[in-house]
Amino acid sequence: MGASTGTALAALKIGGRVAFERLARPKARRFDDVPCSPYAVTAEWLTAVLCAKAPGAGVTHVEVKPASAGTHERHHSPSRCQASSRA
């Protein structure tokens, strides 16, 4: 396989994934998931990522609000957490 063929296949693979994410808007729920946008972050995913070593702790609410746009987009994400039952 030539370099240009490999590059074309990589571009098709990435383009296909981007199209899927724009159409399906998958939500991140498990530790291994990677959110495709700020709006894909869920309370389940934040709990898995932030509270893995704190049994009983968890994120109970996530909200995503646009904060600013320009050359970069920034989002504000107020969240509510439940404390661990461990002392």
What is the 3-class SS of the chain, one letter each residue?
CCHHHHHHHHHHHHHHHHHHHHHHCCCECCCCCCCCCHHHECHHHHHHHHCCCCCCCEEEEECCEEEECCCCCEEECCEEEECCCCC
Residue 50 inside a domain? The answer is: yes
Binned at pLDDT 50, 70 and 90, residue 81 comes out as confident
Evaluate whether residue 73 is within a structural domain.
yes
Query: Quick check: pTM over 0.85?
Result: no
Is residue 57, in this structure, part of any structural domain at all?
yes
| pLDDT of 85 above 70 | no
Average pLDDT, the chain: 85
Q: Which domain holds residue 40?
A: 26-82
Residues 38-74 pLDDT 10s:
889 999 999 999 988 888 899 999 998 888 877 888 8
Is position 75 within any domain? yes
1 part of a folded domain: no
Tally of structural domains, the chain: 1
Angle formed at CA 74 by CA 27 and CA 35, multiple of 5 degrees: 20
